[in-house]
């Protein structure tokens, strides 16, 4: 699958952000195409043994990436950090190609002024590297998911400013939990003038998800030295169990809902399916047994989100029935029935298989692979999103792009699901939210 996905991109869109599956040409931001798929896929190419393709892409980065970074035009600070910086750092870690670290450092330097715009140190959502202009208030996930990358860059370059600028964000969020949001659950909107969280929706889906993931992973990345993140993570999981866990009717599927201005909504994004893997990774590192119990229940629900759809692929958003006398547990609206080849479920399957050794998780993975191959594979290379998983024609190419995360995350986690545990062992590395592996800092512990 990696070879076929890469064939589609490399033959038609090399050096662009992504493959347009309708035109079979490269596409990207009009004024700042940063070759996201190429960099995002580097470590996957290396991992699966596509070394010729890796070397060619690595050479392309050496020859072209610096000029791509220093183009004008707004970019997402969050996406650039997790995909581009994350991809450069992990592929340096795996291959030892020093120029990848050099480019990552130049990118870090180029992004750092974004952290100094406000006195509170929390950057805006979008940033123009050339003009240094910023715009748009960020979400919780966008400011809570920069830390692993800048910390690893600080460690490799011995330049502490990288870590200091993201620690400042973490400290601000921790203080707000301590003072106001004592159950550890933070709303997703930010008042950028004050740097304070605004009262709004609480979710582990879009705009919230990876903040919680990075609480656990920063503790692991530090060699379990930064215990404040462990404490914040455990507080948040207690809050999740208390406020966000629901059970559908009639069959009792356990799910994670949302709080919208305090009111529970039985809605769960596919993005939330990272949670079983997160909870299991925590359990593997000493968290309570009840975390694993919830993980297993949620994993089953995420699988059912695939198995109960006509295409055997999950929709982007699922609603859960909580009323009596309704036959179906799962409800999907036509506007949410699309599938973007997202990785969260297979990510959790990989972690759960490695920790529990229950073969059913590999079987679930095989079913998802078969559904991708049946519905999403393109004749000339690459894979496409589909517009309707529920019933009727699937509508191949619902979105124009084959997202960079398909090779970077979805296919990497599927490969690891069927690999030996010694392949990127979970007690030696920690994945950033874009599936880029960073080594655990043993020197810190």
Active site residues per annotation: 79, 209, 316, 344
DSSP-based three-state secondary structure for 426 = coil
CB 225 within 8 A of CB 265: no
What is the separation of C-alpha 298 from the centre of its chain, rounded to a whole number of angstroms? Answer: 18
* Cα separation values, 87 from 152, 194, 304, 314, 344, Å: 12, 32, 32, 27, 18
Gyration radius of the chain over CA positions: 21
**What is the C-alpha separation between 122 and 120, in angstroms, rounded?**
6
Whether 140 and 197 have beta carbons less than 8 Å apart is answered as yes
d(CA 127, CA 124): 7
Cα angle, residue 173 at apex, residues 434 and 106 outer, rounded to 5° = 45
**Binding site annotation covers 433?**
yes
Sign of CA dihedral 176, 288, 290, 220: positive
State the alpha helices, DSSP H only, in 222-329: 227-243, 275-284, 289-307
d(Cα 384, Cα 395) in Å, to the nearest integer?
Answer: 10
CA 373 to each of CA 4, 33, 337, 389: distance values in angstroms, whole numbers, following the listed order: 10, 29, 18, 14
Q: Are 354 and 276 in contact (CB under 8 A)?
A: no
- Binding-site members for Ca(2+) are 433
- Binding-site members are 433
């Amino acid at each position: 699958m990696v070879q076929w996905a890469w064939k589609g991109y490399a033959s038609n869109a090399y050096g662009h952000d992504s493959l347009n599956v309708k035109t079979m040409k490269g596409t990207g931001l009009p004024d700042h195409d940063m070759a996201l798929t190429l960099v995002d896929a580097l470590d996957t190419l290396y991992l699966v043994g596509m070394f010729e393709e890796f070397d060619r892409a690595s050479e392309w980065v050496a020859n072209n990436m610096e000029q791509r970074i220093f183009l004008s035009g707004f970019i997402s600070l969050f996406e650039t950090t997790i995909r581009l910086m994350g991809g450069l750092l992990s592929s340096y870690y795996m291959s030892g190609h020093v120029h990848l670290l050099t480019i990552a450092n130049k990118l870090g330097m180029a992004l750092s002024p974004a952290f100094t715009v406000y006195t509170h140190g929390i950057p805006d959502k979008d940033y123009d590297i050339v003009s240094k202009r910023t715009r748009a208030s960020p979400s919780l996930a966008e400011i809570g998911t920069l830390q692993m990358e800048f910390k690893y860059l600080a460690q490799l370059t011995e330049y502490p400013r990288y870590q200091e600028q993201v620690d400042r964000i973490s400290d601000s969020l921790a203080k707000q939990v301590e003072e106001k949001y004592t159950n550890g659950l933070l709303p997703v909107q930010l008042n950028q003038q004050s740097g304070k969280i605004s009262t709004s929706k609480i979710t582990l889906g879009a705009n919230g998800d990876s903040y919680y993931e990075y609480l656990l992973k920063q503790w692991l990345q530090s060699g379990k030295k930064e215990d404040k993140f462990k404490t914040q993570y455990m507080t948040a999981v207690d809050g999740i169990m208390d406020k966000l866990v629901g059970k559908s009717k009639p069959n009792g599927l356990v799910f994670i809902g949302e709080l919208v201005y305090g009111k529970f909504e039985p809605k769960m994004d596919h993005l939330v399916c990272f949670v079983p893997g997160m909870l299991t990774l925590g359990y593997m590192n000493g968290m309570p047994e009840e975390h694993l119990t919830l993980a297993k229940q949620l994993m089953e629900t995420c699988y059912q989100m695939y198995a109960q759809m006509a295409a055997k692929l999950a929709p982007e958003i699922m609603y859960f029935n909580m009323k009596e006398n309704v036959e179906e547990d799962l409800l999907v609206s036509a506007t949410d029935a699309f599938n973007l080849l997202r990785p969260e479920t297979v990510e959790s399957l990989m972690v759960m298989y490695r920790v529990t050794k229950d073969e059913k998780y590999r079987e679930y993975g095989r079913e998802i692979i078969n559904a991708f191959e049946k519905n999403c594979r393109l004749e000339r290379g690459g894979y496409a999103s589909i517009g309707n998983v529920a019933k009727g024609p699937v509508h191949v190419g619902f979105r124009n792009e084959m997202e960079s995360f398909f090779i970077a995350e979805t296919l990497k986690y599927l490969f690891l699901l069927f690999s030996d545990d010694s392949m990127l062992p979970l007690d030696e590395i920690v994945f950033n939210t874009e599936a880029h592996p960073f080594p655990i800092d043993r020197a810190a512990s």
